[in-house]
Chain A
């Protein structure tokens, strides 16, 4: 591919990626706000205490647990789902890049991008094994 075509292609890919990222952040922020409203309504007069670390309940620490907690309507679960969505946006970007490089026929970069993807997926789904 000549550099001109390559540049045009890369630029188009980047524009799609940027839109994807912005949409992901917006969706995440809306879900977080969706959980924040019932949370603040119910707990507004409780004392805020983050001075000591007491870990998080198990259902807010795994992907599966967060979905269950959010679906049950728990305000903190919904906020955590929004944050999970936010964490997932860069992951989606990497997945998209794997396909973009594949369409372009750049096998070496498909492989390199899949290494990055593997690290991200390990962190999200397998890191509880690593303590």
Chain B
């Protein structure tokens, strides 16, 4: 990160991610949803934990050491998942979330394949091309909004975050997708696929057409 806004964004992204993990794990262990006061308490605890020094660095800086550029859509999804647990109403419909996971899986795979396998194409390089990269991102957002999908809002915020220098990377693609978002999207996609597969297998057989 190159400015104080970047530090605030990083701490925010780190804290909400850890917060959601703790809330989810505790709910699973209890076998029921956490109460609102518990959720708030965990949030405060995670914030304090993130600022505590560990091995000469605040805990959040250990996160920065291995996950330097949390993307805006991922942080947005985390916030959208936390919000109902804090008593708010859901902002994203399932189709909005699916679009966000699909984008993370596709965009993340494209960038990872380019980095890890021998393909003669420099996709990541496109993210340095200011106006072109912004144009592509804006087009995706407009298409999303035109279809009534809220995923475009995350792309819109990502463009603003890029203009403000929220991440240490100057590449716009890093604002749109990151490796954690990519892997979680792939996992989410796989789970959805498995769930649908089970649903198909469990659905009642078609009634045979009996000749009259």
Note whether A and B form a binding pair.
Answer: no
Q: Which residues of B contact A (CB under 8 A)?
A: none
Q: Which residues of A contact B (CB under 8 A)?
A: none
